[in-house]
């Protein structure tokens, strides 16, 4: 039957992604080494890392995009002869496993390991070349025992401590959240849930000890996105100022006789006409103790603050306050100022108390106007001319570029001088000092949850808090635990876990039942990859010296603060322990854009979720991967369009067809030298464009576009009758080979298939990246456009190596022109390749 003939012929040329991909998938399964190029520590190293996923059940397109970038880079670096480390793992502790456990009555461990198995299979199917021998799974004891080990070291160094404090509590998660996990007053996981404040005993890590260095070293991270550095800078929130004590008019019971305020503008202190306290301030609690009316008003302020957090994005709430009827003394001039409580004062910044200077602070100004509090001007604009001195500046006048007035002995100083002198004065008189405060708070890591690393601490009646001895690690998370989302940590109900013996006195002791924040796991996992089987240490320090810092880290910008600040802290702490030498974990950071569809985030409720499995099944892994790189540049948001991935698939099938058609019939019927030269030029221009993108801008969309142009040019060499290329055999062979190499980082399955089809014997993974030859890329002739008075009037076509020419362009014949270059009249024109010649008529 003729139909059979057609299909037989078509079979070779038709791009059957499923057939090709399953063939190579099977081969790679059988030889895992094919996933990872040979390791050779004499070569220069390159550590490319993608953020490890939470095993939620299945990959989403964001993962595919992230890993497609990393995998392309890893393959490119391999082909360029580097010793590449490209690992993958699982951030596998966390609340969703507990929720799933409750919903499906499955132990969190089973659920998690099943998800890992599924997602790992998806990754393999997508053809990502990870070195699976280094896989890290954070929920397994051989990993989390080192969390515990680090915790003990932190505790030894005084960097882990326990204190009772007001903490953020998410009622949905039924656990504490770190400050970093509260977004606009809401839980980072539950955008609709308002975070509550609770008093709890918690374990904290003293990240603030590194606040200064974390800030300072941001300067070193030149290869990080500026956006991320700014976010971290703001988050750390360093501000220089002074602490000043105001004496209370009468000592207040438990609180003492003075109140400390923090200010960045001590130079304005003579203008302080009230003190403002946060509603939660202990002195307010004191004042309100015998004053139910005040208590009620203060409670009202607290609730207003809560609402402000709830509203979140609406902005500042209206300022309210209440006068306590008490007074304090300004230590500089002994003036008596009323003490107020105000809803715009935050307890968790500075001292929770401020001096209010209405004339020179916008917020204080608003407040003072509302409550008719005195406004006292102590700074004037610094005109430099005493005659022109303004005595009534527009209020509030907040600039630092001014002169201090009405301020006793400090009058006449510039603001800057006054800040310095007044701080010194306060310090020498014992009522204040210059200081630095940070917005960054210590990292609360206790979680009242089951599925996390047990905190290796014990509570003994005799010895108090006792660390679990190192030799007894890991403290293994018990299985078969009854999980509920209320009533405290599920571990607290496992008596065989809780009850133990004190290693100091041998008496009964209780284990800590809280587990660690999962951000602990991800703070150092990338070190573990270098030595993932080590069971005597978290890793070998010598191996770290070779691999670190990470050359390229790739992930979502949503981790700009949390994960990336904790990781930096962890590295600095390990450095101070002598475990690592690097100050920073990551040399270059890349944050890829989100994937959206129809203008919205993909979500089940919107029904616009694109599933990687579905895409692989319909178009193949190569098409799915390549589309995520081609649709837009990696840092931009990507609006998913199925028509776009179809286009990529069409392109891959064009590549396949061209190579399949021309792989065998190497002897061309009509060799054509000129076409060959053009194709070689195009090839080498393409090699340059793709290589440049890898080394610089990472605009893989333009890399792919360049390869498409090359393929279009190859199609133009085909004979219309026979569909065979008219290129000479050697050129055809060379260009096909290089085309496959260029394709390898983006579409590895097809590249392997075609590589084999071309009869190449060496593994594609070990093949060298095409070498760019500028001589071959160079144009023989160049066009130089000529412009007259800003209008394009003609062009010269000259040999590429020409240096001089004369004006002959026909378009210019009838112009009565003088010729200028760079503003000078010239007779002869010097040609600069790529530059336009300008002719000005004067």
Partner RNA sequence: GCGAAAGUGGCGGAAUUGGCAGACGCACCAGACUUAGGAUCUGGCGGGUAAAACCGUGGGGGUUCGAGUCCCCCCUUUCGCACCA
The least distance separating RNA from the CB of residue 557, rounded to whole angstroms, comes to 7
In angstroms, rounded to a whole number, what is the distance separating the alpha carbons of residues 133 and 16?
A: 31
- CB nearer to RNA: pick between 327 and 438: 438
Q: Does 315 bind RNA (CB under 7 A)?
A: yes
- What φ, ψ does residue 609 adopt, rounded to 5°? -80, 130
Between residue 245 and residue 284, which ones bind RNA under the rule CB under 7 A? 262-265, 278
Q: For residue 379, list its beta bridge partners.
A: 404
Interface residue with RNA, options 424, 427, 692, 756 (CB under 7 A)? 692
Q: Which of 53, 62, 241, 444 binds RNA (CB under 7 A)?
A: 241
Closest to 526 measured CA to CA, from 45, 82, 51: 51
Among 5, 31, 226, 721, binds RNA (CB under 7 A): 226
- How is residue 577 written in tokens? 């322990």
Total of chain residues touching RNA, rule CB under 7 A? 89
Name which of residues 704 to 763 contact RNA (CB under 7 A): 704-705, 708-709, 712, 715-716, 718, 720
**Quick one: 96 or 312, whose CB is closer to RNA?**
312
| 3-class SS of residue 231 | helix
Q: Tell me the per-residue interface mask from 127 to 146 with RNA, x by CB under 7 A, - otherwise.
A: --------------------
Which stretch in 152-160, 694-702, 762-770, 772-780 sits in contact with RNA by CB under 7 A? 694-702
Residue ranges of alpha helices (H) inside 515-638 are 525-528, 541-547, 562-577, 612-619, 621-630
The residue within the footprint of RNA, chosen from 783, 818, 826, 830 (CB under 7 A), is 783
Name which position in 124, 449, 528, 657 contacts RNA (CB under 7 A): 657
**Could you tell me the smallest distance in angstroms from the CB atom of residue 713 to RNA?**
9
Question: Which range binds RNA by CB under 7 A, 23-31, 412-420, 536-544, 780-788?
Answer: 780-788
Considering only 437, 543, 678, 805, the residue that binds RNA (CB under 7 A) is 437
Among 471, 823, 824, 827, binds RNA (CB under 7 A): 823
Is residue 840 a contact point for RNA (CB under 7 A)?
Answer: yes
Element (H, E) at 328: strand 321-329
CB of residue 720 vs RNA: minimum separation in angstroms?
A: 7
Q: Which two tokens stand for residue 267?
A: 């130079």
Spell out a b/e string for 124-150, using b for 16 or more CB atoms within 10 Å of the CB, else e: bbbbbbbbeebbbbbbbeebbbbbbbb
Closest to RNA by CB, 350 or 724? 350
Tally of CA atoms within 13 A in the half-sphere of 769 that contains its CB:
20
Tell me the C-alpha distance between 343 and 352, whole Å.
11
Task: Choose, by CB under 7 A, the member of 17, 79, 97, 354 that binds RNA.
Answer: 354
Beta carbons of 580 and 544 less than 8 angstroms apart: yes
Separation CA 695–CA 698 (nearest Å):
7
Residue 301 CB, nearest approach to RNA (Å): 9
Q: How far is the CB of 85 from RNA (least distance, A)?
A: 28
476 near RNA (CB under 7 A) = no
Q: Is the Cβ of residue 401 or residue 783 nearer to RNA in the bound state?
A: 783
Distance CA 658, CA 718 (A): 9
- Helix, strand or coil, per DSSP, at residue 182: strand
Exactly one of 68, 330, 343, 591 binds RNA (CB under 7 A); that residue is 343
64 binds RNA (CB under 7 A): no
**Interface stretch with RNA, choices 418-426, 461-469, 675-683, 782-790 (CB under 7 A):** 782-790
Binding range to RNA, per CB under 7 A, among 167-175, 200-208, 282-290, 832-840: 832-840
d(CA 27, CA 443): 47
DSSP string covering 475-531: -PPPSS----SSSS-GGGG-HHHHEEE-TTT-SEEEE---EE-TTTGGGTHHHHGGG
Please tell me the number of Cα atoms within 13 Å of 220 on its side-chain side: 13
Compute the least distance from the CB of residue 125 to RNA, in Å.
Answer: 24
Handedness of CA 108, 55, 125, 609 (dihedral sign): positive
Task: Give the list of residues 6+ apart from residue 498 with CB closer than 8 angstroms, or none.
Answer: 491, 492, 510, 511, 513
User: Between residues 299 and 637, which has the closer beta carbon with respect to RNA?
Assistant: 637
Dist CA 793 CA 839 (whole Å): 10
Considering only residues 588 to 647 of the shown chain, the ones binding RNA according to CB under 7 A are 631-633, 636-639, 641, 643-644, 646-647
> Which listed residue (363, 433, 510, 778) binds RNA by CB under 7 A?
363
Q: Decide: is 339 part of the binding site for RNA (CB under 7 A).
A: no
Considering only CA atoms, which of 764, 810, 733 is closest in space to residue 75? 764
Q: Is the Cβ of residue 636 or residue 667 nearer to RNA in the bound state?
A: 636
Evaluate whether 782 touches 798 at the Cβ level (below 8 Å).
yes
Site string for RNA, 532-561 (x = CB under 7 A): -------------------------x---x
Place of tokens 């019971």: 253
790 binds RNA (CB under 7 A): yes
Answer yes or no whether residue 792 interacts with RNA by CB under 7 A.
Answer: yes
- Considering only residues 182 through 221, tell me which ones interact with RNA, judged by CB under 7 A: 183-184
């Amino acid at each position: 039957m003729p139909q059979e003939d057609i299909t037989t012929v078509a079979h070779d040329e038709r791009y059957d992604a499923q057939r090709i991909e399953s063939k190579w998938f099977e081969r790679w399964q059988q030889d895992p080494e094919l996933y990872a190029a040979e390791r050779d520590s004499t070569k220069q190293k390159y550590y490319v890392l993608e953020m490890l996923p939470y095993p939620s059940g299945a990959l989403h397109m964001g993962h595919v995009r992230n890993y497609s970038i990393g995998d392309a880079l890893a393959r490119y670096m391999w082909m360029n002869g580097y010793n590449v480390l490209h690992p993958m793992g699982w951030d596998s502790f966390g609340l969703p496993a507990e929720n799933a456990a409750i919903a499906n009555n499955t132990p969190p461990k089973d659920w998690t390991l099943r998800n890992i198995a599924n997602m790992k299979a998806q990754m393999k199917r997508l053809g990502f070349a990870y070195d699976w021998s280094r896989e890290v799974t954070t929920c397994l004891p051989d990993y989390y025992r080192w969390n515990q080990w680090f915790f003990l070291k932190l505790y030894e160094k005084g960097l882990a401590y326990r204190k009772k404090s007001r903490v953020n509590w998410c009622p949905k998660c039924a656990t504490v959240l770190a400050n970093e996990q509260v977004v606009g007053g809401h839980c980072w996981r539950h955008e609709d849930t308002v975070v509550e404040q609770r008093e709890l005993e918690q374990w904290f890590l003293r990240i603030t000890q590194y606040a200064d260095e974390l800030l300072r070293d941001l300067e070193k991270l030149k290869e990080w996105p500026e956006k991320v550095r700014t976010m971290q800078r703001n988050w750390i929130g360093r501000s220089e100022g002074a602490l000043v004590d105001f004496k209370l008019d009468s000592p207040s019971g438990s609180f003492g006789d003075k109140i400390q305020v923090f200010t960045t503008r001590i130079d304005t202190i003579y203008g302080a006409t009230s003190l403002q306290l946060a509603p939660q301030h202990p002195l307010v609690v004191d004042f309100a103790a015998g004053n139910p009316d005040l208590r009620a008003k203060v409670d009202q302020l607290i609730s207003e603050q809560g609402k402000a957090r709830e509203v979140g994005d609406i902005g500042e709430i209206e300022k309210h306050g209440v006068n306590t009827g008490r007074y304090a003394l300004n230590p500089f001039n002994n003036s008596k100022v009323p003490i107020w409580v105000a809803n715009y004062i935050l307890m968790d910044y500075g001292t929770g108390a401020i001096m209010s200077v209405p004339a020179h602070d916008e917020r204080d100004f608003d407040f003072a106007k509302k409550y008719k509090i005195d406004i006292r001007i102590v700074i004037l604009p610094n005109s430099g001319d005493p005659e022109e001195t303004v005595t009534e500046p527009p209020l509030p006048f907040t600039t630092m570029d001014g002169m201090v007035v009405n301020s006793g002995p400090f009058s006449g100083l510039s603001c800057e001088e006054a800040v310095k002198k007044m701080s010194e004065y306060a310090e020498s008189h014992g009522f204040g000092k210059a200081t630095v405060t940070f917005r960054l708070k210590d990292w609360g890591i206790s979680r009242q949850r089951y599925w996390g690393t047990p905190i290796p601490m014990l509570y003994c009646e005799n010895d108090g808090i006792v660390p679990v001895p190192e030799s007894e690690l890991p403290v293994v998370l018990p299985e078969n635990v009854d999980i509920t989302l209320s009533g405290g940590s599920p571990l607290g109900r496992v008596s065989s876990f809780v009850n133990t013996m004190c290693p100091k006195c041998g008496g009964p002791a209780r284990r800590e039942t809280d587990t660690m924040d999962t951000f602990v796991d991800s703070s150092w996992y990338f070190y573990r990859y270098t030595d993932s089987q080590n069971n005597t240490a978290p890793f070998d320090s010598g191996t770290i010296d070779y691999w670190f810092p990470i050359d390229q880290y790739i992930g979502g910008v949503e981790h700009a603060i949390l994960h990336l600040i904790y990781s930096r802290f962890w590295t600095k702490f390990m450095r101070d322990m002598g475990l690592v030498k690097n100050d920073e974990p990551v040399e270059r950071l890349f944050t890829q854009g989100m994937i959206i569809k129809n203008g919205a985030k993909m979500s089940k409720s919107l029904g616009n979720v694109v599933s990687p499995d579905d895409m692989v099944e319909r178009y193949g892994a190569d098409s799915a991967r390549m589309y995520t790189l081609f649709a837009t540049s990696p840092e931009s948001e990507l609006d998913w369009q199925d028509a776009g991935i179809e286009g990529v698939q069409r392109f891959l099938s064009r590549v396949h067809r061209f190579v399949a058609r021309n792989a065998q019939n190497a002897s061309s019927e009509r060799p054509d030298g000129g076409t060959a030269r053009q194709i070689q030029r195009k090839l080498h221009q393409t090699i340059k464009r793709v290589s440049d993108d890898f080394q610089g801008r990472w605009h893989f969309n333009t890399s792919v576009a360049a390869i498409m142009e090359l393929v279009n040019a190859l199609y133009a060499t085909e004979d219309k009758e026979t569909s065979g290329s008219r290129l000479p055999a050697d050129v055809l062979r060379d260009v096909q080979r290089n085309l496959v190499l260029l394709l390898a980082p983006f579409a590895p399955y097809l590249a392997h298939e075609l590589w084999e089809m071309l009869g190449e014997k060496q593994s594609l993974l070990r093949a060298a990246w095409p070498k760019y030859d500028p001589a071959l890329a160079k144009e023989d002739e160049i066009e130089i456009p000529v412009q007259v008075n800003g209008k394009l009037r003609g062009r010269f076509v000259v040999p590429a190596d020409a240096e001089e020419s004369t004006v002959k362009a026909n378009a210019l014949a009838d112009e009565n022109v003088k010729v200028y270059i760079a503003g000078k009249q010239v007779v002869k024109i010097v040609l600069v390749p790529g530059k336009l010649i300008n002719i000005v008529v004067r």
